[in-house]
Structure 1
Amino acid sequence: MLGLDNDPLDREQAIETLWKYSLGGKKCIDAIMQFHGCLNLIVNLLKSESSSACEAAAGLIRSIASVNLYRESVAESGALEEITALLSRPSLATVVKEQCICALWNLTVDEEIREKVADFDILRLLISFLEDDDVNVKEAAGGVLANLALSRSTHKILVEVGVIPKLAKLLKADNTENKGSKVIRKEARNVLLELAKDEYYRILVIEEGVVPIPIIGADAYKSFRPDLYSWPSLPDGINIEQTAKAPSRFGASELLLGLNVDKNVDDVDEAKMKAIVGRTNQQFLARIGAIDFEKEIKSEGPGKSQQLTLLPCVDGVARLVLILGLADELAATRAAESIADASINEDMRVSFMEAGAVKPLVQLLANNNKETVKLPVIRALKNLSLSRTVCQRIEAEGAVWFLINLLKQPEISLNVTEHVLDIIAHILDPSKEMESKFYEGLVNGSKADSRKEVLDAAVFSRLVQIAKTASPNLLRNAISVIEFGIISNPNMDTIISKDITTVLDLALRQKVLEEPENEAEELEKHLLKLEEAGLTISAASRLLTKLLDSESFRQTIDTAVFIELVRKILRSSLPLHYKDWVAACLVKLTALSSPSQSLNNPINLEVTLYKTIPSLVEQMSFSSSPETKEAAVLELNKIVSEGVPESIQTLASQGGIEPLVKLLEERNERCVEASLSVLYNLSMDSENHTAIIRAGAVPVLRRIVMSQRPQWEKALRLLRNLPV
């Protein structure tokens, strides 16, 4: 009766009967599949205009696909293509959608079929069905996506079609918004957890407001001991001022304190409010023993089984901080790992700080000698320390002393050394120190004294040892901490005696500067190496510049060698913004070796050509400040007018003509006059004529002449120089 030559109504009745029969189990399905060609006839009915026929055909395919033996046959029969076409119809009955998607759900159990289903068009449809009004359709769509996510090869296309924001929204939604949708929430969690196994995709998941949390088992929370009575405090440990002499009966004063709203309520920022809410929720769950009942998700990663769940950020951050304070060492270690992974941006880092994560992390660092515990804790502190605000909190909790002591131990691994030095360099950053002095006033005495105490001779000796033998990142951070030591302790004898010149020489000799760009194996890698070299060279130049203030240091170095090194860097292809301290260092070295400071001095000339002029062109081109542009063009005019050799050629080669022409249209008369003077000097070389004309100078100059602006005579002279 399924034959193509039969009446459509008979075919519809037959497919409905077969569908109902297939619900009897595998034996019934085997009986249907004994008939050769029946699968093709069933798939053909997916093209029917009758909703009942389509529903029955899709339902029967769903039943057949539930049997392992027949899934491949279903996929080869063209069912995937027909189901996709059917789901693409603009108006399709909900029951048909459900059966079609459930058929895909069963088919995608097979790993090979997942590759065929992971098509952009099918995925786009599935994501749209996540917002369907029918719960069954949403659950089925989530189930298909969960199956697809089990294959790593499908992760890229899943992310590209936008599955992460949709599923994160479903996971964060209240139960009241998704009544009866526990299945879709579970499937959304499964998909996101599978994607979060990839480091990059995990960042995308966290950016959508959900955090991976380790499942440690309900028994681990038995060590949680909340205070039976305590005065209200913020999660980060800040106590609220207590005005009452004794606690009120039944806690009425605390309740009123919580309900009090005054004109200063806006002073409590959003991060603090979220931290309070999250802590309250998680501590309540821990107290009543209703925590960690989520289904465990086992990672397939090598080495160990990781059990994870996902929580919205407010609850997730609070849960991780709660786990940090438990007696279970393994649980605290896993929480530290999760904090390290989740600290992807400033908001997350501040959230962890406000939730009180810094103090228990520092305590774990201080009280545990196992590297398996220390490494995750150090990773967490390292990622948190990328925030200047959190850096200050880490230092306030006394972490620097423990980190320095750890750094002094020569037996620690290179990995731990690198992480520890990263944290110390973030906290003791000389550029941030000078900035804080400028904006926030001098560092208080006790803080400055504590820094001097930890940065002793043994520390500098260890830093020099690390810098001589380690990676570029360690070299750069070691130099940064040494520089901080100079700022906090002007007595340089300790540092000079530790062979600092060897470290500086090593930092300034970067092999990447000798590699021609056109011969680099990969341009991107070459540029990345240049950036890394620039950071190291900039730090070394800054340190050398400050060390040159010491008479005893000047007597220990060969100035000529360092001048040659720095000149070579200045002439190199190093990005311009890294040459600021290079130029300053070169000028200072030259001043110490030669009294002549005129522009025609070879060293000063190189600084002008390779640093000053390119920087001024950059300011004219990209600055949004009219004052900055004016200052740049006036300085350029001064350099060119003084007849600095090769300044015209350098200005043209650095792309200075176009921004100069644009400045002619400014209303600032000083800008226009200076631009005309520089362009006139450029026009004296016929090789620049084409570039000046191409930049659109001619019509602008003619407007200046015709409107009789104060500079019209200079504009006319420039026009006469050009071949127009």
Structure 2
Amino acid sequence: MARCRNPPAWNCAARFLLRCGRPAARCLLVRTSRDDGAAEANPRDPALPPDVEMFNSSVNAKDSYVGLFVRMLGLDNDPLDREQAVITLWKYSEGGKNCIEAIMQFPGCINLVVSLLKSESCSTCEAAAGLLRTVSSINLYRDIVAESGAIEEIFRLLCQSFLAPEVKEQSLCTLWNLSIDEKLRVRIANNDFLPMVVKFLDDEEIKVKEAAGGILANLALSPCNHSIMVEAGVIPKLADLFKSNNEGYKIIRKEAKTTLLELSKDGYYRILVIEEGLIRVPVVGAAAYKSFRPQTYSWPSLPDGTEIQRNSRPSRYGASELLLGLNIREKNFNLENMKVHAMVGRSQQQFLARIGAIEMEDERNSQSESSLNQQYTLLPWMDGVARLVLIIVLEDVSAITRAAYSIADVSINERMRLSFKEAGAVRHLVKLLQHDNEATRDAAVHALDRLSVSYVVCQTIEAEGGSDLLINILKDSNTSSSLLEMTVNILCRIFDPVNDVKTKFQDKFVDESEKVLIGTSSSQDFDGLSISKTSSVSEGTTREKIIDSDVIVCLIDILRTSSPNLQIKVASILEFVAAFEQHVATITAAGINSALDVVFQKGSLDGMDGDDDNALEWNAIEAEEIGLAVAAASRLLAKLLNFEQFCHSIDAMHFVHLLRKILKCNIPLHTKDWVAACLIKLESKFGLASNLGHSIDMEVTLYEMIPRLVEQMRTSFADESREAAVIELNKIISEGVMECTRAVAAAGGIFPLVELIKDGRGDALEASLAILHNLSMHTENHAAIIAAGAVPILKRIVLSEGPQWKRALRLLRTLPT
């Protein structure tokens, strides 16, 4: 006898609840935010449907039809009955918190709902996931849903190849709600589910995209999830969604922005966000922009200061600037895209500031002034650069300071640095060096420090008169150590001799709009529209004129007392100053000898041994910094030796002894080049060979030349370079000095020599065999030669009876084989 699918009592209850939980009552996805910033996919409808209100008021809690439908979820019931029950409960649960509590009073109900996620029916899976979504929207029940295995079951469900969009939406929204709980975030992120969420960002259904974005936004609130999310490829996909202008993407853009802002709190991940064309900009409040006063009746100009002049009178309402881009394109002006983007970005941001529409949405979302001071927003790089430049010209000190630090953070590559230069940031930052507020000055120097990595920006800083202002900061005795270091960094780049050579030999065919020339102006004229650029530095002002005795004394004092990292930069500046003979007397009188002695004394101390791994790692970093400082000081000393007035004041023997000790110590090999060159110059300048007892050339050979050639043999990828090194090394060894062979062995030259024997040919092979034969004359090298695998290679050469077989045979006879 066939079993009745729907008993009469259940049919009555089903019809009633299906009517009161009608589909029209289902709410759209609304993202709400909790106090901790987490978002939930919770349909909020304060007004319950009339039929549900009637049901709640007429049905006694003890005599409710809800229990009947919960029992219909049982595993022993017909699948169609279970499907009808879960659909009914899902629609009923959308009536609000009271309805959800009525369902949750039955223990084990959620476990039965989770089991329905395995159903082959699309409607059943959608209803089960939808019921879990509404239940998980209540804080009290999230743990119950998670403990029932819902996360794992949803993960299994979403792994299916073909899944209805409605099922994906409800399943992802359930995880969206669960991800509000911090401990559940970690559970979701550590699962293999995260790459799947990222994949759903490419789904065709907008609701699925929004749910996936909501999950990622919540997961990003836990910093421990950031590395997993970045490895899963979140940043490029969210950046593309944020920059998309597709209609209906408002929610997903908001979620993408939230996630990217959370990830950008980490400095490394912020770089990845910037590389996707997005800039983190501080939210300073719409009130701060009220101080913005655009110039009226002003001639149009490019943001970097290039003036654009017309024959006719410009409009007081800015129409001339608005139409500037059209006129330039009509006249075929040769403007780069970077300049055009700077103009467009400035026009857009100034327009928003004029009408008072800037940051209105961000200000509404902020709850207090303190939260506003910590808030950031994301903008495409063109608008972001223009917004930051707009902020630094306002009157709000806090806003200016935050914007300057943001400029420093964004200046990660040449493109961004040149973008800020074209947008006029350098000119305004240089002006901020004279600001009354100390924090603002520090922020401006910090921004200029990052921007000055670009050679073009260095020229602009100098053209805007930044060198004078930076030197004033340098001479100020109250300057903090951090500000002093950044100031020295900028001046070192401006006065870098390499950059000076670039300036002298710059290609004359470079577009004039890209050059910043001191004391000159360039112009272009096309049918009445003229573009001209004039530098703000007065004619006749040169680098050497801004260097006075006070600056030199200050620099030498820094060289004497600062850290090795700062000594490198100061020595480079003094090297530039020493190029002018009129400054050499001042340098000598200011005590450069004692300052150089301090640097060399620190380098001559062989304190590179450590007892543990941490000490060894720290000593390697310290050795690198000290070595670079010693090399910079050696270059400075070598340049000063060109002037007789300095040579009369120097104790040559003292410096020779110091440099010889440095040559023998464990500083990195590449830093010994200038030490060796300076030693040779001291010997030739003062004729010290007879006083020293032996030539300095031999020490340079043992401690600089031979280790450098061995390093070239070991690390070079080019066969020609390795062969040239071994031939040069053989010439040194052939002079018959015993110390040379010992130096080769001490530098670890045996293993690369054996490698050259295996792969070498011609003169390189012969040179390698000759050096190994000299090394084999010392029995202490036999073990290393055999360990390097020389014996089978030598036997192969002998058996081949090639040109070098006799030399290989002699070498074999000396080894204990």
**TM more than 0.5:** yes
Bigger Rg, which one = 2
CA displacement 1:574-620 (0-9 Å, x = unmatched)? 11111111222233344456543999936332221221111112233
2-structure distance, mates of 1:363, 1:453: 21
Alignment of 1:120-199 (within 5 A): 120-172=191-243, 174-176=244-246, 179-199=247-267
Residue matched to 1:425: 492
Deviation of 1:116 (Å) = 2.3
Confirm whether residue 576 of structure 1 aligns to residue 669 of structure 2: yes
**2:709 alignment counterpart:** 616
Structure 1 counterpart of 2:584, which letter?
M
Question: Does 2:111 correspond to 1:40?
Answer: yes
- The CA distance in 1 between the partners of 2:763 and 2:304, in whole Å, is 55
Residue 605 of structure 1 contacts residue 644 of structure 1 at CA under 8 Å; is this kept in 2? no
Q: 1: distance between equivalents of 2:273 and 2:484?
A: 30
DSSP-derived class of the 2:689 partner: coil
Map Cα deviations across residues 519-573 of structure 1 (whole Å, 9 max, x no partner).
4634333322222222222222222232333444444444444333322322222
Where 1:13 maps in the other structure, the secondary structure is helix
Aligned to 2:326: 255
Partner of 1:549: 642
Following superposition, the deviation at residue 181 of structure 1 comes to 1.2
Q: 1:23-57, CA deviations, whole angstroms, 9 ceiling, x for partnerless residues? A: 00000011111112212222222232322222111
- Return the offset for 1:515: 3.3
Matched, 1:653 2:746: yes
With over 3 angstroms needed to count, the CA separation of the structure-2 counterparts of 1:617 and 1:363, relative to structure 1, is: same
* Deviation for aligned residue 1:229: 6.9
Write the distance in 1 (CA, Å) between the matches of 2:407 and 2:678.
Answer: 41
Which residue does 1:535 correspond to in 2?
628
Whole-angstrom CA distance in 1 between matches of 2:771 and 2:458: 47
Question: CA-atom RMSD, angstroms?
Answer: 3.6
Among 120, 124, 134, the residue aligned to 1:49: 120
Cα-to-partner distance string for 1:99-155 (whole Å, 9 max, x where unaligned): 111111112222333232222412222111111111111111111111122223332
Change (3 A) 1:294 1:203: farther
Counterpart amino acid of 1:212? R
> Aligned in 2, Cα 1:187/1:615: closer, same or farther, shift over 3 Å?
same
State the partner residue of 1:475: 567
Say which SS state the counterpart of residue 362 (structure 2) adopts: coil
Shift of 1:642: 0.9
Map 1:164-563; keep pairs closer than 5 Å: 164-172=235-243, 174-176=244-246, 179-225=247-293, 234-239=302-307, 255-259=326-330, 271-286=338-353, 289-296=356-363, 305-366=373-434, 368-433=435-500, 450-489=542-581, 491-510=583-602, 513-519=606-612, 521-563=614-656
Q: Separation in 2 of the partners of 1:703 and 1:260? A: 76
2:167 to 81, 96, 111: 96
1:650-689 maps to which residues of 2 (within 5 A)? Answer: 650-663=743-756, 669-689=762-782
Structure 2: distance between partners of 1:380 and 1:209:
19
Partner residue, 2:678? 585
Distance 1:519 1:88, change over 3 A: same
Cα displacement (A) at 1:63: 0.7
Amino acid at match of 1:499: G
The correspondence for 1:109, drawn from 173, 180, 189, is 180
| SS of corresponding position for 2:377 | strand
* Code of the aligned partner of 1:175: N
User: Is the 1:64–1:71 contact (alpha carbons within 8 Å) kept by the matching residues of 2?
Assistant: yes
CA shift digits 1:397-433 (9 cap, x unpaired): 2100000011111122222222212211221224544
The answer for the alignment partner of 2:75 in structure 1 is 4
Q: Offset of 1:630 from its aligned partner?
A: 4.9
Return the alpha-carbon distance in structure 2 between the equivalents of residues 115 and 645 of structure 1.
65
- Distance apart, 1:691 and its partner CA: 4.8
Deviation at 1:714? 4.5
From the superposition, tell whether residues 181 and 580 of structure 1 become closer, same or farther in structure 2 (CA, over 3 Å): same
Other structure's SS at 1:642 match? coil
Q: Match of 2:376, as an amino acid?
A: L
SS at match of 1:118: helix
The residue identity in structure 2 corresponding to 1:426 is R
Give the counterpart letter for 1:306 in structure 2.
Answer: Q
Q: Secondary structure at the match of 1:132?
A: coil
CA distance in 1, matches of 2:236, 2:371: 31
Cα deviation, residue 623, structure 1 = 3.8
User: What is the CA distance between 1:686 and its match in structure 2?
Assistant: 4.7
Give the distance between the partners of 2:369 and 2:699, measured in 1 at CA: 55
Specify whether residues 531 and 67 from structure 1 end up closer, same or farther in structure 2 by C-alpha distance, changes over 3 A only: same
Of 67-76 and 692-701, more deviation after overlay is shown by 692-701
Tell me by how many angstroms 1:183 deviates: 0.8
Structure 1 residue 380, shift from structure 2 partner: 0.2
Q: How big is the shift at 1:628?
A: 4.4
Please give the secondary structure, in 1, of the residue aligned with 2:379.
Answer: strand
Deviation for aligned residue 1:261:
5.2
**CA apart distance, 1:666:** 7.5
State how far apart, in whole Å, the 1-side matches of 2:760 and 2:693 are: 34
Q: Which deviates further from its counterpart, 542-551 or 491-500? A: 542-551
Please state if 1:67 is matched with 2:146. Answer: no
What is the alpha-carbon distance in structure 1 between the residues aligned to residue 608 and residue 760 of structure 2? 45
Q: Could you tell me how far apart the structure 2 residues matched to 1:106 and 1:223 are? A: 43
Shift in alpha-carbon separation, 1:521–1:630, aligned structure 2, 3 A: closer
Matched-pair contact (CA < 8 Å) for 2:304–2:421: yes
State the one-letter code of the partner of 1:539: A
Aligned to 1:31: 102
* Distance in 1 (alpha carbons) for counterparts of 2:147 and 2:311: 80
Aligned residue type for 2:192: D
Segment drifting more, 372-381 vs 76-85 = 76-85
- Per the TM alignment, residue 162 of structure 1 is displaced from its structure 2 partner at its CA by 2.6
1:710 to 1:394, Cα distance in 2 relative to 1, 3 A = farther
User: Which region of structure 1 is more displaced relative to structure 2, 459-468 or 280-289?
Assistant: 280-289
- Aligned-partner residue type, residue 306 of structure 2: I
Which residue matches 1:78? 149
For the residues of structure 1 that align with 2:642 and 2:757, how far apart are their CA atoms? 44
Q: How far apart are the structure 2 equivalents of 1:327 and 1:222?
A: 9
Identity of aligned residues (%): 53
Structure 2 length as normaliser, TM-score? 0.79
Quote the offset at 1:211 in angstroms: 0.7
Judged with a 3 Å threshold, the aligned counterparts in structure 2 of structure 1 residues 76 and 302 are, in CA distance, closer, same or farther, namely farther
Verify the 8 A CA contact 2:407 2:447 in the aligned structure 1.
yes
C-alpha separation between the residues in 2 aligned to 1:507 and 1:347?
37
Name the CA distance, whole Å, in 2 between partners of 1:169 and 1:489.
Answer: 58
* Partner secondary structure for residue 477 of structure 2: coil
Classify the secondary structure of the residue corresponding to 1:85. Answer: helix
Q: Is residue 146–residue 187 contact of structure 1 (8 Å, CA) maintained in 2?
A: yes
Q: 1:451, 1:488 within 8 Å by CA — same for their partners in 2?
A: no
Q: Which amino acid aligns with 2:635?
A: R
Residues 643 and 435 (structure 1), Cα distance of their counterparts in 2 relative to 1, 3 Å cut:
farther
Name the CA distance, whole Å, in 2 between partners of 1:211 and 1:158: 20
Shift in Å at residue 703 of structure 1? 7.4
Moved more, 52-61 or 629-638: 629-638
**Is 2:463–2:517's contact at 8 Å kept on the other side of the alignment?**
no
Aligned length: 713
Tell me: CA distance 1:253–1:332, structure 2 relative to 1, closer, same or farther (3 Å).
closer
Structure 2 residue runs without a partner (length 5+):
1-71, 509-515, 520-538
- Partners of 2:540 and 2:722 lie apart in 1 by 40
Q: For residues 532 and 635 of structure 1, what CA distance do their matches in structure 2 show?
A: 30
Q: Secondary structure at the match of 2:433?
A: helix
